């Protein structure tokens, strides 16, 4: 785990955080009541038996959100996970979905501001599910994904920004 603050042009701050096999990038745009922040997590491959490094990284990311994006209201903080949630061997199973859901909820962000994209490893529950469709439906159910194909659109109120996945 670790973090680095990079200052971009204008009023954009970006904080990059790296955890285990995955990574996160936090972007904070603007300031005051029009500010917003987004955490992007990729390829976590969470292992229920080895969660300590992931909890540590989550705590570091939450601390960065508090210290670097403290003026951003919670309802304007977003999290996007780019899939591949479960560790090899349990990826794509109900167990991996529940573990990932619990981990992601630990960020404490409003549920409506958490978006999950399915990864190729999220459909590896071949021993638990008879078809990819059943596996995908279990993933959708675990994360309350509305989009027929798992897609999402989230507008950031008061900005010209849209999160698509």
Q: How far apart are CA 136 and CA 149, in angstroms?
A: 9
Q: What residues have CB less than 8 Å from 97, skipping those under 6 apart?
A: 85, 86, 122, 138, 139, 142, 143
Q: pLDDT band at 23, cuts 50/70/90?
A: very low
Average pLDDT over residues 20-34: 49
pTM value is: 0.77
Residue 15: the pLDDT is 40
In this predicted model, what pLDDT tens digit does every residue of 37-76 receive, in sequence order? 888 898 999 999 999 999 999 999 999 888 888 888 888 8
Residue 151: the pLDDT is 67
Q: pLDDT band at 108, cuts 50/70/90?
A: very high
Q: pLDDT band at 93, cuts 50/70/90?
A: very high
Share of the chain above pLDDT 90, in %: 32
Residue 161: the pLDDT is 73
């Amino acid at each position: 785990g670790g973090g680095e603050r990079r200052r971009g042009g204008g009023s954009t701050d970006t904080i990059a955080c790296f955890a285990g096999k995955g990574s996160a990038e936090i972007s904070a745009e603007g300031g005051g009541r029009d500010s917003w922040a987004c955490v992007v997590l990729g390829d976590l491959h969470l292992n229920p038996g080895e969660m300590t490094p992931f909890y540590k990284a989550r705590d570091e990311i939450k601390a960065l959100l508090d210290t670097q994006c403290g003026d951003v209201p919670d309802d304007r903080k977003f999290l996007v996970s780019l899939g591949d949630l479960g560790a090899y061997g349990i990826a794509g199973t109900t167990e991996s979905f529940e573990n990932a859901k619990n981990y992601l909820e630990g960020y404490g962000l409003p549920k409506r501001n958490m978006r999950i994209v399915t990864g190729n490893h999220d459909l590896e529950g071949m021993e638990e599910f008879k078809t990819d469709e059943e596996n995908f439906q279990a993933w959708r159910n675990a994360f309350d994904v509305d989009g027929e194909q798992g897609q999402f659109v989230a507008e950031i109120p008061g900005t010209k920004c849209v999160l698509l996945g």
